[in-house]
């Protein structure tokens, strides 16, 4: 008897990743097919949407072959994708120009326009107003490429384009829409101000449907390319951020996720749309209907990588030769239990180029060794997370139990312990994590392979390691945190 399989697909910045789940909740495996980011001008970043679809075809065929999955056992497919990467299509549903990716910086002139008009019309932005947001990119196209805008039938997002090619369905979901500054969180729909103050025609935006809703079926034409049967149901899908949260098991109010990647990011589930005028946090729609994700960023991967590759270069190279994780290898060499009055401030200033950071070590003594600096760095990164979380805790007063930890930094046992003490919460590291797993969960819930999100999470999410905070250490860390904040606000007031 064949087991039912759901395929989850992540359309990422550097490649298409597909993960297979079965009805028991087992992660059967994943494959990834890469594609390139094109930079025709400094600060620009573009991709041909058809590169995603070609990679998608290759990835589907590869996972069926590599995992020996019988095509007729595939019962559902879900797609997530990178946010704020608009695709401009014409009436024949073909791209008019390359997709402007989320990391593209060309629309900096539009930022001042958006900020000014939001202020004049009393609109509270749920997100930082930067060149990242899709509204800025659309305004750039209207201003610089009016012929493109004139020919545009719809503006859709990466996952929506791939699903369009699969099924012919034109739609997007609240999680992707809510990241664009084109969405009204109060009304849970496209914003009225688009037409009124930005002259953006709402007819050029797709219908918004729920993330787990079946909106189409694999067509006969595409089925032959994929090696899958015609008629497999495809759900609307969601943003990669929402898929990340779902793949970590965030379904209930106050469920919390920390991602330690190039930047640090935290997400907490909430049941109401509550934007913050001070922007001490941001808010996005979750893939789950009428649920929201409170979101904030903090420094992590760039200072972390800089320090260890600068001061432990030899050890990093040794670890690579031994085929072991370099950061875990280095942690075994840290021979101190406390930083002995040394503090690291990871966000002492700003730099226009996000690949740079300004940081500071404070309290250096002649007795300090590399180990003291390494420990101070890890604690400083954890303190920057606590600082980002503080206004959220103060406003929402959440009952945070276990915090899920994902990303490259989550592999560090020492950092897991430091995070647990700093947050006074249990740290839980999932055995598997990928946005494509979240997309697979959406597909399985939408087609009733799983009866509910709760059943899906109980079956799919397995915890590899739990770290319970050493409560006896919390007071010492709490005192260090107070000193950290004192130094930061005394010497770096501009931040």
- Cα–Cα dist 184/192, whole Å: 8
In this structure, the answer to whether residues 175 and 280 fall within a common structural domain is no
In this structure, the answer to whether residues 44 and 179 fall within a common structural domain is yes
> Which domain-ending residue is among 219, 241, 263?
241
What DSSP letter does each residue of 48-99 carry, written as one string? -HHHHHHHHHHHHHHHHHHTT--GGGEEEEEEEE-SS--EEE-TTS-BSS-E
- Cα–Cα dist 353/105, whole Å: 10
CATH number for the domain that contains residue 109: 3.30.420.40
The conformational region for residue 122 under phi > 0 = left, psi -120 to 50 = alpha, else beta, is left
| Residue in 197, 195, 217 with CA at minimum distance from that of residue 205 | 195
> Which domain-ending residue is among 222, 241, 260?
241
The reported pLDDT for the residue numbered 294 is 97
Output the pTM of the full model: 0.92
Q: Which domain holds residue 166?
A: 5-241
Confirm whether 448 is domain-assigned: no
The reported pLDDT for the residue numbered 347 is 84
In this structure, the answer to whether residues 235 and 255 fall within a common structural domain is no
Q: What b/e string do you get for 115-135 counting C-beta neighbours within 10 Å, with b at 16 or more?
A: eeebeeeebebbbebebbbbb
Please provide the distance, in angstroms rounded to a whole number, between the alpha carbons at the two ends of the chain.
61
The reported pLDDT for the residue numbered 493 is 63
Structure tokens, 469: 């905070």
In this structure, the answer to whether residues 213 and 255 fall within a common structural domain is no
In this structure, the answer to whether residues 177 and 291 fall within a common structural domain is no
In this structure, the answer to whether residues 191 and 295 fall within a common structural domain is no
- Cα–Cα dist 27/430, whole Å: 12
In this structure, the answer to whether residues 234 and 293 fall within a common structural domain is no
- In sequence order, the 6+-apart residues with CB closer than 8 A to the CB of 339 are 372, 375, 376, 379, 480
How many independent structural domains does the chain possess?
A: 2
In this structure, the answer to whether residues 209 and 307 fall within a common structural domain is no
Residue by residue, pLDDT tens for the chain (495 residues) are: 578 999 999 999 999 999 999 999 999 999 999 999 999 999 999 999 999 999 999 999 999 999 999 999 999 999 999 999 999 999 999 999 999 999 999 999 999 999 999 999 999 999 999 999 999 999 999 999 999 999 999 999 999 999 999 999 999 999 999 999 999 999 999 998 899 899 999 999 999 999 999 999 999 999 999 999 999 999 999 999 999 999 999 999 999 999 998 889 999 999 999 999 888 999 999 999 999 999 999 999 999 999 999 999 999 999 999 999 888 889 899 999 999 999 999 987 655 555 567 899 999 999 999 999 999 999 999 999 999 999 999 999 998 878 999 998 898 999 999 999 999 999 999 999 999 999 999 999 999 999 999 999 999 999 999 999 999 999 999 999 999 999 998 888 654
């Amino acid at each position: 008897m064949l087991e039912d399989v759901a395929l989850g697909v992540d359309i990422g910045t550097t490649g298409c990743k597909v993960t297979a789940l079965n009805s028991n909740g087992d992660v059967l495996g994943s494959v990834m097919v890469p594609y390139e980011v094109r930079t025709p001008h400094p600060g620009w970043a573009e991709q041909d949407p058809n590169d995603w679809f070609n990679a998608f075809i290759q990835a589907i065929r590869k996972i069926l072959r590599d995992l020996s999955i019988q095509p007729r056992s595939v019962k559902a497919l879900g797609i997530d994708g990178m946010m704020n990467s608009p695709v401009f299509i014409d009436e024949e549903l073909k791209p008019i120009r390359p997709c402007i990716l989320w990391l593209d910086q060309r629309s900096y002139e539009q930022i001042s326009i958006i900020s000014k008009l939001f202020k004049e019309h009393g609109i509270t932005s749920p997100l930082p107003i930067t060149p990242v947001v899709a509204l800025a990119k659309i305004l750039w196209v209207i201003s610089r490429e009016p012929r493109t805008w004139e020919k545009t039938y719809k503006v859709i997002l990466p996952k929506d384009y791939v699903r369009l090619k699969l099924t012919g369905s034109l739609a997007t979901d609240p999680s992707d829409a809510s990241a664009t500054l084109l969405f009204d969180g109060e009304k849970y729909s496209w914003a009225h101000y688009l037409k009124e103050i930005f002259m953006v025609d709402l007819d050029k935006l797709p219908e918004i449907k729920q993330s787990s809703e079946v909106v189409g079926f694999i067509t006969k034409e595409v089925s032959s390319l994929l090696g899958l049967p015609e008629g497999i149901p495809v759900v609307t899908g969601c943003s990669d951020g929402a898929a990340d949260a779902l793949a970590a098991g965030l379904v209930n109010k106050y469920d919390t996720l920390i991602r330690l990647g190039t930047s640090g990011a935290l997400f907490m589930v909430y049941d109401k749309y509550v934007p913050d005028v001070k922007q001490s946090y941001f808010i996005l729609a979750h893939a789950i209907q009428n649920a929201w994700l409170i979101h904030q960023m903090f420094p992590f991967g760039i200072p972390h990588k800089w320090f260890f590759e600068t001061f432990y270069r030899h050890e990093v190279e040794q670890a690579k030769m031994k085929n072991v994780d370099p950061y875990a290898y280095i942690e075994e060499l840290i021979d101190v239990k406390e930083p002995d009055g040394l503090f690291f401030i990871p966000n002492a200033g700003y730099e226009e180029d996000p690949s740079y950071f300004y940081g500071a070590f404070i309290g250096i003594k002649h007795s300090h060794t590399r180990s003291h600096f390494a420990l101070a760095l890890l604690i400083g990164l954890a303190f920057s997370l606590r600082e980002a979380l503080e206004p959220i805790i103060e406003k929402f007063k959440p009952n945070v139990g276990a915090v899920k930890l994902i990303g490259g930094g989550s592999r560090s046992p020492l950092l897991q312990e430091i995070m647990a003490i700093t947050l006074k919460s249990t740290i839980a590291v999932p055995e598997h994590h990928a946005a494509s797993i979240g997309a697979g969960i959406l597909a399985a819930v939408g087609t009733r392979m799983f009866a509910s999100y709760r059943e899906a999470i109980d079956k799919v999410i397995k915890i590899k390691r739990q770290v319970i905070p050493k409560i006896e250490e919390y007071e010492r860390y709490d005192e260090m945190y107070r000193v950290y904040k004192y130094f930061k606000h005394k010497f770096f007031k501009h931040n």
